[in-house]
Amino acid sequence: MKLVAEQLGKKYRKEWIFRRVNLTLSAGTSYTFVGPNGSGKSTLLQLLAGNLPASEGQLIYSLNNTVIEPDDWFRQVSIAAPYLELIEELTLDELLIFHQTFKPFKAGLTTKDIADRLLLTHARHKEIKYFSSGMKQRVKLGLAFFSESPVVILDEPTSNLDRQGMNWYQEQVRLLAPDQLLLIGSNQPEEYDFCPNVLDVMQWKS
């Protein structure tokens, strides 16, 4: 998987959040985007995920040198972020079953396996609305970690996690497949201390 941004820019009203972003992001490694709060990290990640339209420039996904159409990008990307909501009326089991209908889990993983890996075996039949904020964050991360998708995007991944949750994150993120592309938005070094590529979004401020 390769993701190429060419002269990418995003504007809200008359203000440019960033401009002239030129990137080639290749599978098999990880990239972390850093910058002050409000600098555009989350906006850039959402744009790279295909969740937001660009104001200028273009984004190209390709797999084995074949360009992927924009309508199919969502199949390639798993994203976990504080601003993404879970369906809180579902139990954990129901949520995992529903998730599989549009994005399958990695080969061999059952819903029970996922719950076990989330350290939430005891909560499989509890509605998400009764989960703590840390439990919900683990579910969001787990859906990204354990889904079969070549691109994984994590925005502020340890939000609401306690020390046990932080240790769990650091263990799981290192278990991602070597052929996956990992993108992280963070200001916390412990969230990306393993990452070889750290990019400051301030370089793209106009």
Q: Quick: pLDDT tens for 151-177.
A: 999 999 999 999 999 999 999 999 999
Tell me how far apart the alpha carbons of residues 162 and 169 are, in angstroms, rounded to a whole number.
10
Q: Find the length of the chain.
A: 206
Q: 147 near 106, Cβ under 8 Å?
A: yes
* pLDDT score, position 74: 87
Domains in the chain and their CATH numbers?
Answer: 2-204 (3.40.50.300)
* pLDDT score, position 18: 95
Residues of the chain with pLDDT under 70: 206
69 DSSP 8-state letter:
P
* pLDDT score, position 64: 86
* pLDDT score, position 71: 87
| 94-102: Cβ within 8 A, 24+ apart | 95/128, 95/139, 99/143, 99/147
The pTM of this model reads: 0.94
Residue 27, Cβ density class (10 Å: 0-12 exposed, 13-18 middle, ≥19 buried)? middle
